[in-house]
Amino acid sequence: MATTISTHERLALHGGTPVRRALLPYGHQSMDEDDIQAVVEALRSDWLTTGPKVAEFEEAFASYVGAKYAVSFSSGTAALHGAMFAAGLENGDEAITTPLTFAATANAMLYVGARPVFADVADDTLNIDVEEARSKVTSRTQAIVPVDYGGHPADLYEISRLAEQRGLLVIEDACHALGARYEGRQVGSIAHMTVFSFHPVKHLTTGEGGMVTTGLAKFAEKLRCFRNHGISSDARQRQESGKWYYEMVELGFNYRLTDIGCALGLSQLPKLDRNLERRREIAAQYTSEFREMPGIVPPTVRRGVDPAWHLYPIRLEPEKFRVGRGEIFHALRAENIGVNVHYIPVHLHPYYRDRFGYRGGEYPIAESAYEQLISLPMFHGMSDQDVEDVISAVRKTVDQFQLRQG
Ligand SMILES: Cc1ncc(COP(=O)(O)O)c(C=O)c1O
């Protein structure tokens, strides 16, 4: 079997002209003049930290996702920590999650003394495989923590059923999935607690920030207490009404989101649907192009799901290329396409290897997906030209590195 190499357009990596002059990042915030004005007004107000904008943002957010309560935090990571605490996880407990996530998901379990137990992912969505999760439940398991990878909701109903059968809580890490829908329902209204991030590459930003939504007052109360040093909110209200007395009832943290951040969040929230629409448009255009390209597997969308498209991760079929993922990644970067990789599986990080003895090979689907994944730029501020540039750069790179058999 002879192999011939295409001699098409020269890659920037090999001295050719890049598809674009300036680097297109994989994610970027959008900031309108009214967002800037909202922050300026907050700066001029009497409140910088917890003031009226915090409650206003929480109410508007809860109403958007269809949850009874929303409690803001200083980051998605702090929000995850709060959710683990509110769930009552402690030393000796276990919580089940996916290895294909940002380390913060599992780290939050460690913060409260619980052990993260990983369950491999489903090969299509790269979300936690519910049967794998089921096989990891022990008498110590307290929670399942699915991650909506890339913005595609996990199998939330199956997970809820498993949780119900085994008496577990579901804490959904929806840091990728604000605005996603599952069986017609908004993410944020399904799990016992759902965690969001407002980091600048997300659908809505407060600079740094996060939120937990829940339908249960007991969790909302714990979350509010935890983010404010463990001071009970009743005591805080007493204090605000002019009394000096307050009580610290839990070992909490200062995880409060500022009024400045919430003013920005409030200004961004009404634009969220438009931003999601743009992301969906970009994803549709990408998928219609990439589905035709040899060696490229676009992300799967399951029936009944409307993803939020935080990421657009393609997978490369290794047998279709004469170079590895690393070379293709560098070629795209040289074309000034800011590709990224999500994620190095958590158990393969040195900290997890050292602490828990992982050696690789434990989660074969997540590990092999990791070897094949490249996240292409995906953010609502992308112009049509940006989208075209990404498609051209991928086409050029595939063309050059494709293994042709003749
Ligand atoms: C899946 C997931 N969980 C948690 C986080 C943490 O969010 P933050 O950066 O707001 O702390 C991120 C951040 O990107 C994430 O992608």
For 148-199, how does the pLDDT look when each residue is reduced to its tens digit (9 = 90+)? 999 999 999 999 999 999 999 999 999 999 999 999 999 999 999 999 999 9
Look up 202 and say whether it is catalytic: yes
Dihedral pair phi/psi, residue 90, rounded to 5°: -150, -175
CA 91 – CA 109 distance, rounded (Å): 10
Most confident of 50-54, 124-128, 401-405: 124-128
Task: Say if residue 34's pLDDT is above 90.
Answer: yes
Cite the DSSP H helix spans in 231-345. 233-240, 259-268, 272-290, 325-334
**Residue 244, pLDDT above cutoff 90:** no
Question: Of residues 53, 202, 222, 396, which has the active-site annotation?
Answer: 202
pLDDT above 50 for 1 = no
Give the atom of ligand 1 at the shortest distance from the alpha carbon of 208.
Answer: 10
Mean pLDDT along residues 359-371? 98
Please tell me if the CB atom of residue 72 comes closer than 6 angstroms to any atom of ligand 1. Answer: no
Q: Which of 175, 208, 212, 344 to mutate to test the pocket of ligand 1 (most atoms within 8 A of CB)?
A: 175
The pTM score is 0.96
Q: What pLDDT band is residue 234 in, cutting at 50, 70 and 90?
A: low
Per-residue pLDDT band at 235 (split at 50, 70, 90) = low
Ligand 1 mean position, distance from CA 28 (Å)? 15
Q: What is the tens place of the pLDDT at every residue in 268-320?
A: 999 999 999 999 999 999 999 999 999 999 999 999 999 999 999 999 999 99
The chain-wide mean pLDDT, for the chain, equals 95
Q: How far apart are CA 225 and CA 20, in angstroms?
A: 49
Q: How sure is the predictor about 245, in pLDDT bands with cuts at 50, 70 and 90?
A: confident
Identify the residue whose C-alpha is closest to ligand 1 atom 10: 76
Greater model confidence, 1 or 393:
393
pLDDT at 4: 41
Type of residue at 250: E
> Which pLDDT score is estimated for 6?
45
Residue pLDDT, tens place only, 35-50: 999 999 999 999 898 9
Instruction: Indicate if ligand 1 lies below 6 Å from the C-beta of 147.
Output: yes
Q: Are 182 and 304 within 8 A, CB to CB?
A: yes
Beta strands in 135-281 (DSSP E): 141-145, 169-173, 181-182, 185-186, 193-197, 210-214
